[in-house]
Amino acid sequence: MRNIFSSRNSIYLFFLVVFISLLFGVIKLENKISQKTMEITTSDIISIANNSASFIGKILEKSSDTYAKTIAENSTLQKQLEDYFSLLITSNIKYVYLLHKDNRGIFRFLADGTIDKSNRACLNQKFDIDNPLWLNIFKTKKPLIIENSYSHQLSITYLVPILKENKVELILVVDFAISKLEKINEVISWIKMIMMSIILVVIASLLILIIQTFKYIAVKKTAYIDKLTGVYNRNYLQESEGFINLNDYILATLDIDYFKTVNDTYGHDVGDKVLKEMASVISLSTRDKEDIIIRYGGEEFVIMAKVRRDDSLGALNVIERILRNVRQYKFFYTKKDYIHMTVSIGINLKPNESRNFSDAFKLADIALYNAKNKGRNNIQIYDESKDNDGSMLSINDIKEALDEDRILCYYQKIINNNTNETTHYEALLRIVNKKGDIVLPDKILPIIEGTFISRNITKNVLRICSKKLEENENINININLRPKDLLDKSIIEILENYAKKQNISNRLGIEIIQNEDLINSKDGKNILLLLKDLGYKIFVDDFGSGYSNFIYLSEIKTDYIKIDGTIIKNILEDKILYLLVKSIISFAKEANIKVIAEHVNTKEIYEEIKALGIEYSQGYYFSSPKESLE
């Protein structure tokens, strides 16, 4: 009996020592928390500054003159820099400006991002430095931090050198201030009081509570943790989604690219190993105790990245870091052999604008669909300006539209630039909703991706277009087929049957988006060659925006390339895109492939692409999509 009491007293004494140690530890906690908070806060701002300096360096790297002279003589570039700097201004970042040192050693402004334009410094206005440490940057040629600590905030000047031929040409300066956490002492005092009460009043009860708590946590951990990867599972999400404050996070959905191929090629043991290591890479890329990782199912993960101070940039950096780290990681399946994996990620930057977590998740999933559709291995952000108008259809809505024959095609002209004649029409999917409004594909396709409804939609479009071709023997119509459509036997059988009809297949163009799903498919190439033999013309859509295999284009004897509209609509302002288009045209001519420019929406763009030698155009400059053929 004495031994029992002795053991019990030893336990009590142990916990008493622990709590007293904690009490003294709390006293030192304030400085550590404050220091760590400063480190975390400044890291994102420093990252922004470094990335901005790198961006400026890339813009100027081909300049034959000094960077300062290049900027000073280019008012458009100066304005672009100032506008870009003004976007970086936040509640913490006070000033962003670009300096150079003239031949007399005087610092002068090149660009000032002050939001109030009336207070911006003028070009070459003198800038007086108040600390000789500034001059060290010309010796070290490395970024420099200068701190000025005040009673309630820490003011920091961060200098980033921009080098040319290993010489400091410019200095990017970011001034920011960080408020110290004044309430830390209040919280710590409260913690001290609670701990003293626990030590003096309820130490015995606390022992029982701790034991029960550990048991409860162990049970909950088993229920909410994915056994394979060690991150949260779907049970955790279902249990907690009603309590998640959507104002605190950005929401991302992540899918491992071609994971099925890994399982099929290397076996499920290797697949499981990839999943475990993928979860580890994601965990190491996120911020401990801030970001939440959930294995949603199979090879799909959900990441909730914490937003600090109403600024999503830091959270967005987390998602970008995941993509970058996955790309660099080697997944070893033996001691020597490894494979590289990639991921597709969709992001909802504003989940708080959705009614609940499920709606917010759906929008991130739509962005994920777009990432996959653009060739995978990339990040796509949900575009609220286009998709948050409440017109997104549900699966049931689309089923009913199929049953009630409310599937339509609108048609947009493709023009021969030399004759101005209409050579083809592209058929574009539309659905009439119950209100009689026309619904566009971006409100339809993300919902039906991977379902049998997608195949049925394609069959309906084929039926509508073949009927149009039979009614009018003088027109050519293009339809869009996705890789999954081309690999579907029932759809290929329909195309084979159409080819048996006179004067159909030679007027029905097949537009495909070239991506790795198609390139890596064993049957994809053979199916496209079969369609060519049957008389169909092959159009490669959105060329230049994603995965491009030029050899593959020659192997399948592509007839037309459609240059992606996002490239064409920016060709007048972006020199790089202009050069890209010239390269595509050069390749196409050598390969005897005709070129179509998409999104030709203005006379200026039309004249430019015509001067470049592009043979065909499609866009609002000629016509918008219409239900009737003209």
Q: Which active-site residues does the annotation give?
A: 299
In this prediction, residue 153 has a pLDDT band, given cuts at 50, 70 and 90, of low
Q: Per-residue pLDDT for 447 more than 90?
A: no
| Range ranked top by mean pLDDT from 168-182, 225-239, 303-317, 364-378 | 225-239
Q: Per-residue pLDDT for 501 more than 80?
A: yes
- Residue 280 has phi, psi (to 5 degrees) of -65, -45
Any idea which residue has 């959270």 for tokens? 315
Average pLDDT of span 451-463: 89
Q: What is the rounded distance in angstroms from the CA atom of residue 355 to the CA atom of residue 589?
A: 52
Three-class secondary structure of residue 159 per DSSP: strand
Q: What is the pLDDT of residue 266?
A: 87
In this prediction, residue 34 has a pLDDT band, given cuts at 50, 70 and 90, of low
Average pLDDT of span 466-470: 93
Q: What is the pLDDT of residue 388?
A: 47
Q: What is the pLDDT of residue 176?
A: 80
Model confidence over 351-364: pLDDT tens digits?
Answer: 888 888 888 888 89
Average pLDDT of span 488-502: 91
User: Which position has the higher pLDDT, 554 or 528?
Assistant: 528
Q: What is the pLDDT of residue 280?
A: 95
Model confidence over 318-332: pLDDT tens digits?
Answer: 999 999 999 999 999
Q: What percent of the chain has pLDDT over 90?
A: 34
Beta bridge partners of 567: none
Q: Per-residue pLDDT for 521 more than 80?
A: no
User: Which token pair is 147?
Assistant: 């701190």
How does DSSP assign 20-69, residue by residue? Answer: HHHHHHHHTHHHHHHHHHHHHHHHHHHHHHHHHHHHHHHHHTT-SS-HHH
Q: What is the rounded distance in angstroms from the CA atom of residue 160 to the CA atom of residue 98?
A: 10
Q: What is the pLDDT of residue 3?
A: 35
Rounded to the nearest integer, the mean pLDDT of the chain is 83
CA–chain centroid gap for 520, Å, is: 24
Any idea which residue has 């009996």 for tokens? 1
Model confidence over 128-145: pLDDT tens digits?
Answer: 888 888 888 999 899 988
Structural element, H or E, at residue 347 = strand 343-348
- CB within 8 A of 61, min separation 6: which ones? 164
In this prediction, residue 2 has a pLDDT band, given cuts at 50, 70 and 90, of very low
Among the ranges given (93-107, 184-198, 406-420, 426-440), the one the predictor scored with the smallest mean pLDDT: 184-198
Number of H helices, E strands in the chain: 24, 22
In this prediction, residue 392 has a pLDDT band, given cuts at 50, 70 and 90, of low
Among the ranges given (101-115, 205-219, 476-490), the one the predictor scored with the smallest mean pLDDT: 205-219
Model confidence over 588-623: pLDDT tens digits?
Answer: 898 899 999 999 999 999 999 999 999 999 999 999
Give the Å distances, CA to CA, from 64 to 141, 163, 164, 199, 351: 21, 14, 11, 73, 46
Average pLDDT of span 219-225: 73
Q: What percent of the chain has pLDDT over 70?
A: 81
Q: What is the pLDDT of residue 345?
A: 94
- Residue 82 has phi, psi (to 5 degrees) of -65, -40
Q: What is the pLDDT of residue 92?
A: 78
Q: What is the pLDDT of residue 68?
A: 85
- CB within 8 A of 547, min separation 6: which ones? 375, 376, 514, 515, 516, 519
Model confidence over 233-287: pLDDT tens digits?
Answer: 988 888 888 888 888 999 999 999 988 878 878 888 999 999 999 999 999 999 9
Give the Å distances, CA to CA, from 157 to 98, 141, 144, 150, 174: 13, 16, 8, 14, 6
Q: What is the rounded distance in angstroms from the CA atom of residue 552 to the CA atom of residue 568?
A: 23
User: pTM for this structure?
Assistant: 0.46
Beta bridge partners of 481: 512
In this prediction, residue 5 has a pLDDT band, given cuts at 50, 70 and 90, of very low
Burial of 341 (0-12, 13-18, 19+ CB in 10 A): buried
Contact 119, 146 (CB under 8 A): no
How does DSSP assign 71-84, residue by residue? Answer: HHT-HHHHHHHHHH
Q: What is the pLDDT of residue 343?
A: 93
Average pLDDT of span 466-475: 92
In this prediction, residue 1 has a pLDDT band, given cuts at 50, 70 and 90, of very low
